Chains A and B, each alone.
Chain A
């Protein structure tokens, strides 16, 4: 669950407010698109959710963690409750598909037996069975992003946040990826997708939160990307 109340954010090296009074709530099990033009504050919201930055004022709660006052030492525990997917995949080049996914379990101290069971299951879920030994540079963009999703999913997080996950993919692969997110959502994981791909957003009947100039300008359940200036 994500809850933001009157969130303001000004970066240390800037006088401009990146966020000026954002209020939003995303409940467990929802599938939400966060849309808006470049510089609108989407990435700032993502960073607040993942704990990379702290809000200047207001309240930010993610999976029951107070992200404004959270101690640095508690961040790893909080991050284990969410999975993050990036536009540029961020896979480790010298690890094969299996190890890239298993890596996420190893760093949180999972048992070997659990890794051996969970990783093949997740790879099958994202449609990468039989590609375990492939290196990232031997995969297409769509496949690499599936590995990234498998990695985000492998620790069974309550929430997956994806920052422009289809930015490097063609329309067909993008649609496939969204269908995968939808499938994961149906299994109970909350999904938050940050994107500015209007066609893709409008193809799904999901909740769409639109950000502009650092605040929420629309929040609808009709799956319609209302912002016209791109």
Chain B
């Protein structure tokens, strides 16, 4: 039963940890996108150069705009040309391009409101904001976060239940010894403490094994993922950058599960 108890704690913590690591990676990916993705606000064609540059202050006043860089027609054409062969560049006139502002946002979850705000700035003709991927990731992150929270709650309760039963069986196995202890006048703490220590040790053992198991599993999975997405935008959070927090969380949960399970068993099954 002790083995089963440790195994359940390991399984619960590895599941919890896996889901949390997925959420963490999606979060990191979104943050990455926030810095990489740009919103482009095109200036009305009827505005001359000086008027176009003058609206920068109004653009920066829009909530959630982190910074704005003015790009004139010529710079825009040069950027465009650099991406194409010379044959394709021929015959393109600079007037085809508009003056524009390249913007970064503070929070891409407020992208829709920011876009609306930019479109309302006088002199802005059109706003291009391609945050479809980010929006999808935000949705996934939110779903994973909710699942993660529910899982943590359910798995902690399952672990406590298993731990309670483990300690209950331990008290049953030592019932004669306990009866003798009571008869000779052993104090409550003397009788109960070994079971609380047992719960604590089982919990910490489970937490330690789970920490190492998650590490191994995470390294294995991320290695495979990076092999599949070689050269893409995908970056994974290294386990070593969060391992102290993971260890801390696992130990805290293990202690709670171990001690609470033991206390629960003692309260219900060990009448001293």
Chain A interface residues (CB < 8 Å from chain B): 50, 72-73, 75-80, 83-84, 90, 92, 103-104, 107-109, 151, 155
Contact = CB atoms under 8 A, between A and B. Distances in A.
A79 B180 contact: no
B186 A108 contact: yes
A80 B272 CA distance: 15
22 contacts: A50-B183, A73-B188, A76-B186, A76-B187, A76-B188, A77-B185, A79-B182, A79-B185, A80-B185, A83-B184, A90-B180, A92-B176, A92-B177, A103-B184, A104-B184, A107-B181, A107-B184, A107-B185, A107-B186, A107-B190, A155-B184, A155-B185
Contacts of A80: 184-185
Nearest to A86: B183
B179 interface: yes
Contacts of B188: 73, 76
Interface string B161-179: 0000000000000001101
A108 to B, nearest CB: 5
A108 B186 CA distance: 5
Contacts of A90: 176, 179-180, 183
B187 A79 contact: no
Given A72-B272, A73-B188, A76-B188, A103 B183 contact: no
Main secondary structure of the interface of A (DSSP, over half): helix
A79 B183 contact: yes
A103 B180 contact: yes
Given A72-B272, A90-B179, A92-B176, A151 B184 contact: yes
A94 to B, nearest CB: 9
B66 to A, nearest CB: 63
A83 B188 CA distance: 18
A84 B183 CA distance: 7
A107 B189 CA distance: 10
Contacts of B185: 76-80, 107-108, 155
A130 to B, nearest CB: 24
Q: Sorted from nearest, which 8 A-B pairs have the closest CB atoms? A: A80-B185, A107-B186, A79-B185, A104-B184, A76-B185, A76-B187, A84-B183, A107-B181
Nearest to B183: A84
Contacts of B176: 90, 92
A25 B15 CA distance: 65
B47 to A, nearest CB: 85
Nearest to A151: B184
A111 B262 CA distance: 29
Nearest to A154: B184
Contacts of B177: 92
Contacts of A77: 185
Contacts of A155: 184-185
Nearest to B191: A107
Given A107-B184, A109-B190, A155-B185, 18 more contacts: A75-B182, A76-B185, A76-B186, A76-B188, A77-B185, A80-B185, A84-B183, A84-B184, A90-B176, A90-B179, A92-B177, A103-B180, A103-B184, A104-B184, A107-B185, A107-B186, A108-B186, A151-B184
A12 B270 CA distance: 19
A72 B191 CA distance: 14
Contacts of A84: 183-184
B18 to A, nearest CB: 42
B163 to A, nearest CB: 25
Contacts of A107: 181, 184-186, 190
A95 to B, nearest CB: 9
A157 to B, nearest CB: 9
A78 B183 CA distance: 10
A90 B183 CA distance: 11
A52 to B, nearest CB: 9
Contacts of A79: 182-185
